[in-house]
């Protein structure tokens, strides 16, 4: 009665599909939180730390996204959502496209650190 037909875990499939956007969201949250808290509590040395840290976080996120884009099969296996069914190419294609979108978002977000003073208010 309680033995359903099995297929790959849906949580894995959702994570696979959203891996790129999740990384983008994590990057945005991390750089925004770090920037806001550092500027609020760290005093003068915040201006020295913030740009480098944001650039480093951006490069790390971009690298992870490029890995996800280049090796989607490995990611799918790691998340236990790989099977041979007809949905698989769909998931892989959609996941990779989302990774590209996220990569653009991450680079766009992080590029601000190269151009703007870290803790100056815009008024």
Partner 1 sequence: MELPNPDPRPEGEVRELERIWATPRGWRLVTAVNNTVIGLLYIGVAFLFFLMAGLLAVVMRTQLAVGDNRLIDQDLYNQMFTVHGTTMMFLFAVPAVEALGVMLLPQMLAARDLPFPRLSAFAIWAYVVGGLVFFSTIFYDLAPKGGWFMYPPLTLMEYSPGDNADFWLLGIGFIEISAIAGAVEIVVGALRTRPPGMSLARMPIFAWTMLIFASMIMFAFPAVILATMMLEIERAFGWPFFTAAVGGDPLLWQHLFWFFGHPEVYIIFLPAAGLVSMMVPTMARTPLVGYHLIVVALIGTGFFSFGLWVHHMFTTGIPALSLAFFSAASMAVAVPSGIQVFSWIATIAAGRQRFRITTASLFILGFLFIFTLGGLTGVMVAMVPFDHQVHDTYFVVAHFHYVLIGGFVFPLFAAIYYWMPLFSRRMLSERVGRWVFWMMFVGFNVTFLPMHLTGLRGMPRRVWTYPGEMGWDTLNLISTAGTYVLAAGILVFLVDLAAKFRIGNRAVENPWGAGTLEWLPNDVYSTRSIPHITSREPLWDRPSLPQEVRDGHHYLPNAPTGWRETIVTSPIHARPQYVIQMPGPGWPPFLAAVFTAAFFLLLTVKMVAIAVICGVLAIVFVLAWAWGLDPGPSKGMIEIAKGVRLPTYMSGPTSHSWWAMVVLMFVAGSLYLAYVFSYLFLWVVSPEVWAPAGSPAPPPIGWPVASAALLLAGSGILWLVSRKLQQYAASRLAISAALLLSLVCLSAAFMLETGGHLTTGLDPGENAYGAMVYLGAVLFAQLVLALLIMGLFTLARHLAGKLDAVRRVTYDNYALLYHYTVAQSLLGLGLIHGFPRLIG
Question: Does 32 engage in binding with partner 1 (CB under 8 A)?
Answer: yes
Candidates 15, 17, 52, 68; binder of partner 1 (CB under 8 A) is 17
The Cα–Cα gap between 93 and 73 comes to 11
Question: Does 84 engage in binding with partner 1 (CB under 8 A)?
Answer: no
- Binding residues for partner 1, how many (CB under 8 A)? 52
The Cα–Cα gap between 88 and 21 comes to 19
Q: By CB under 8 A, which span of 59-67, 70-78, 87-95 interacts with partner 1?
A: 87-95
Q: By CB under 8 A, which span of 1-9, 61-69, 70-78 interacts with partner 1?
A: 1-9
Question: Does 87 engage in binding with partner 1 (CB under 8 A)?
Answer: yes
**Burial of 47 (C-beta count, 10 Å sphere; 0-12/13-18/19+):** middle
- The dihedral built from the CA positions of residue 112, 108, 110 and 41, taken in this order, carries a sign that is positive
The Cα–Cα gap between 90 and 15 comes to 14
CA-wise closest residue to 9 among 64, 68, 76: 76
The tokens describing 54, both together, are 């944001």
Candidates 19, 24, 53, 75; binder of partner 1 (CB under 8 A) is 24
Binding site for partner 1 (CB under 8 A): 1-2, 4-5, 7-8, 10, 13, 17-18, 21, 24-25, 28, 31-32, 35-37, 39-41, 50, 54, 85-87, 89-91, 93-94, 97-98, 101-102, 104-105, 108-109, 111-113, 115-123
């Amino acid at each position: 009665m309680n033995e359903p037909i099995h297929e790959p875990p849906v949580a894995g499939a959702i994570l696979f599909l959203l891996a790129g956007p999740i990384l983008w969201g994590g990057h945005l949250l991390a750089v925004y939180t770090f920037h806001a808290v550092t500027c609020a509590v760290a005093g003068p040395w915040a201006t020295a730390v913030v740009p480098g840290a944001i650039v480093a976080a951006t490069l790390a996120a971009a690298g992870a996204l490029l890995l996800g884009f280049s090796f989607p099969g490995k990611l799918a296996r790691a998340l236990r959502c790989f099977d041979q069914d007809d949905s698989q190419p769909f998931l892989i294609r959609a996941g990779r496209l989302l990774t590209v979108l996220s990569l653009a978002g991450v680079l766009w977000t992080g590029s601000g650190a190269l151009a703007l003073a870290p803790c100056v208010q815009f008024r």
